[in-house]
Amino acid sequence: MQLGLNLNVNDTVPETMAKSREAERLGLDYIWISDLPSQRYAPVVAAAAASATERIRIGFGLISPFLHSPLQVASSLTTLIEAYGERFELCIGPGDRDQLRRVGVDLDRTEGIPTHLLKAKGKIQRSLKDRGLECKIWLGAQGPKLLEIASSFDGVLLNYSSPRMIEWTLKVIHKAKGKMAERVGIFAPSYVYKNFRPEIHRILQYASATVALGASKSVLEQFSFSEMLEPAMKRFASGTHESSVLKLIPSIVIEEFSILKCQHDLPAYLDELRRLRVDHVVFAYPQGYSMETIRELANALVS
């Protein structure tokens, strides 16, 4: 199983560089540089992280081809790989619906999302191949329509954490093509701790609630979350302040979308994921909140 840390949420570029260096020193396999429209531009941050490290693999994404053209994504990867070697991987997916809407990309009115993603993957790979370069491309997916194309990618990254949801996902993927995705990973808001800090737990709840509220309708229906989340969704759509939305989300939903473990409980959870064939785990924000939270994760992994 390979383990990674998600960076580039609120940090400045020098802070991300320092955290990348620390993640490498602590023996993590990957850092994943996210690319939400509200955040710093991922290719620049990925270059900075690569310059600060030597070996650690750098995941780049989730990148939305609805925001960045496949040629732009390919040219970023070309520059990164030619400058720092083949230690980059890419994850593409539709992206955060709410954030994309704010920058003029309306996924709700976009037809044929799976086909668009497959075409984007093809264009990126062809462009890299023309330069003699290679890069693994993951699919960031949730709902059945996207999961059906997962086996066409080098791996699938799911942004929920609960074993029962992962189990369902694997069945959907297998049923669609008669085979599994080459690799299965999860990318979930995480807080693995030694000394529990309520303020970080609070951030975890926000991050997890954001993922849940942006989840595919079919996933929410499959797990009977739709009804539970309806009041929060209405409040969220009206632009109401985050804290009042959070209060309306049942804690069980938040738990299904996040990893909240004390150091001693993490190994058992990872064993459970291994049993399910998950071989890649990305501990997303707020695990990368500070050097301390990164070290607490690393200590848990060593134990």
Q: How far is the CB of 129 from another protein (least distance, A)?
A: 12
Helices 113-130, 70-84: inter-axial angle, 10-degree rounding: 40
The answer to whether 132 contacts another protein (rule: CB under 8 A) is no
Under 8 Å between Cβ of 251 and 212? no
- The residues with which 61 forms a beta bridge, in sequence order, are 91
Phi-psi region of 22 (alpha: psi -120 to 50; beta: other; left: phi over 0): alpha
Q: How far is the CB of 48 from another protein (least distance, A)?
A: 6
What is the token pair recorded at 288? 């990368």
Q: How far is the CB of 160 from another protein (least distance, A)?
A: 23
Q: How far is the CB of 285 from another protein (least distance, A)?
A: 11
CB burial of residue 233 (10 Å; 0-12, 13-18, 19+): middle
Selected from 18, 26, 75, 248, the binder of another protein by CB under 8 A is: 75
Query: What is the distance of C-alpha 82 from the center of its chain?
Result: 25
Q: How far is the CB of 47 from another protein (least distance, A)?
A: 4
- Token look-up 């738990």 returns 255
Q: How far is the CB of 288 from another protein (least distance, A)?
A: 14
Binding mask 227-256 for another protein (x = CB under 8 A): ------------x-----------------
Under 8 Å between Cβ of 78 and 71? no
Q: Choose between 106 and 292: whose C-beta lies nearer to another protein.
A: 106
- Among 10-18, 179-187, 208-216, 256-264, which window interacts with another protein (CB under 8 A)? 10-18
- Among 70-78, 184-192, 216-224, 274-282, which window interacts with another protein (CB under 8 A)? 70-78
Residues that bind another protein (rule: CB under 8 A) add up to a total of: 35
Give the C-alpha distances (Å, rounded to integers) separating 151 from 59, 170, 172. 19, 11, 11
The answer to whether 290 contacts another protein (rule: CB under 8 A) is no
Q: How far is the CB of 153 from another protein (least distance, A)?
A: 22
Cis preceding-peptide flag for 286 (omega within 30 of 0):
yes
Whole-number Å distance between alpha carbons of 263 and 19: 20
Selected from 71, 237, 252, 268, the binder of another protein by CB under 8 A is: 71
Residues at the interface with another protein (CB under 8 A): 9-10, 12-14, 37-41, 43-45, 47-48, 51, 67-69, 71-72, 75-76, 78-80, 82-83, 101-105, 131, 239
